[in-house]
C-alpha cells in the first residue's frame, strides 16, 4: 500500500530537491517534470474508489494529528503525528490541514521529510507489519490545530466504534472526511478474507458494507475513544474493493509495533 509508494516516489522528490540546489535550471525542471509524470501515471491507476466511503465532512481541525502526505503537491496518503518530529505511516506533508483547496488555511504547517524507516518485517505479499516512520526535517510547533496522538494499548474488543479520517486522492474531496466503523471479531475477519489475516492486523467496518477507507486514505489513522480522549489504534492498510459487504477494511495494529517504533525514534 502506502509504504511501497513512498519507497518508489520519495527518491524522485529528494533528487528533485538536490537538483534544485546544485544543478542548472534546465536540470531541475526536467527532474520535476519527471516526478510529475510518475505521479500522474500513479493517479490514473487509482481513479476508481479513491476516498472515504460513507463518511461526511469533519469539523475543521477536530483531528489535529491528521496529516496529508504529498508528493509534488499531490495528495497520496494519510498519516498521524506521534511526536514533534515523527509521523507514523509514510514524504512531504501538510499538518493542521482541513481544506486542501485553501493554500493559506490558518494553522497549517508545511514540513519536508528527512528520513523514512519502513518496518523490516513488512511483507509485500501478506501486508504484515505495514507501517513506516517518517522523521521530519524540523519539529512541528504544537498548537490548537496540531497535536500528537498516543497509541492505543488496550485490547481492541469487537463491537468497539472507532473513526477513520482522510481526504482520499480524488479532486472532488478536498475537505477532511470521517466515518465511524466497528471493530469486528478476528474470526469474522479471517473468515471474510479466507485466512489472510495476521496478528499484526485487525479489520473494521460493517457486515453489509457501505463504510470504509480507500486508496488515497492508505496509512491514515483509525482512532478510538477511551472515554476521555482519542488514541491511535490502527493505520489504513488493505482490503478488497471499498465499502463492500463482507469485505471490511484491514488495518495495521499499532500496539503490535510500539516496541519497534520506540527503538527507531
Q: Which residues are catalytic?
A: 92, 130, 218
Phi, psi for residue 186 in degrees, rounded to 5: -55, -40
**What pairs with residue 127 in β-bridges?**
none
User: What is the DSSP-derived secondary structure letter of residue 125?
Assistant: T
Phi, psi for residue 78 in degrees, rounded to 5: -110, 175
- Measured between its terminal Cα atoms, the distance across the chain in Å is 23
**What pairs with residue 231 in β-bridges?**
224
DSSP reduced 3-state for 132:
strand
Question: What span, in angstroms and rounded, lies between the C-alpha atoms of 133 and 110?
Answer: 18
Amino acid at each position: 500500500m502506502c509504504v511501497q509508494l513512498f519507497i518508489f516516489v520519495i527518491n524522485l522528490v529528494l533528487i528533485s530537491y538536490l537538483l534544485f540546489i546544485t544543478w542548472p535550471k534546465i536540470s531541475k525542471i526536467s527532474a520535476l517534470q519527471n516526478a510529475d509524470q510518475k505521479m500522474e501515471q500513479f493517479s490514473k491507476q487509482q481513479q476508481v474508489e479513491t476516498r472515504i466511503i460513507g463518511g461526511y465532512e469533519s469539523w475543521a481541525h477536530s483531528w489535529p494529528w491528521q496529516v496529508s502526505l504529498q508528493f509534488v503537491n499531490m495528495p497520496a496518503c494519510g498519516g498521524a503525528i506521534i511526536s514533534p518530529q515523527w509521523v507514523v505511516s509514510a514524504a512531504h506533508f501538510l499538518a493542521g490541514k482541513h481544506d486542501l483547496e485553501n493554500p493559506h488555511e490558518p494553522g497549517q504547517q508545511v514540513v519536508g521529510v528527512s528520513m523514512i524507516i519502513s518496518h523490516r518485517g513488512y511483507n509485500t505479499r501478506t501486508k504484515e507489519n505495514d507501517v513506516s516512520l517518517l522523521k521530519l526535517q524540523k519539529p512541528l510547533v504544537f498548537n490548537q490545530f496540531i497535536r500528537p496522538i498516543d497509541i492505543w494499548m488496550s485490547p481492541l474488543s469487537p463491537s468497539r466504534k472507532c473513526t477513520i479520517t482522510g481526504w482520499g486522492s480524488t479532486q472532488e474531496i478536498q475537505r477532511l472526511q470521517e466515518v465511524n466503523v466497528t471493530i469486528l471479531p478476528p474470526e469474522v475477519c479471517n473468515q471474510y478474507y479466507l485466512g489472510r489475516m495476521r496478528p499484526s492486523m485487525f479489520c473494521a467496518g460493517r457486515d453489509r458494507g457501505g463504510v470504509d477507507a480507500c486508496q488515497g486514505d492508505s496509512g491514515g489513522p483509525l482512532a478510538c475513544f477511551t472515554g476521555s480522549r482519542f488514541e491511535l489504534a490502527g493505520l489504513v492498510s488493505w482490503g478488497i474493493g471499498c465499502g463492500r459487504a463482507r469485505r471490511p477494511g484491514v488495518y495495521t495494529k499499532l500496539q503490535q509495533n510500539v516496541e519497534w517504533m520506540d527503538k527507531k525514534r
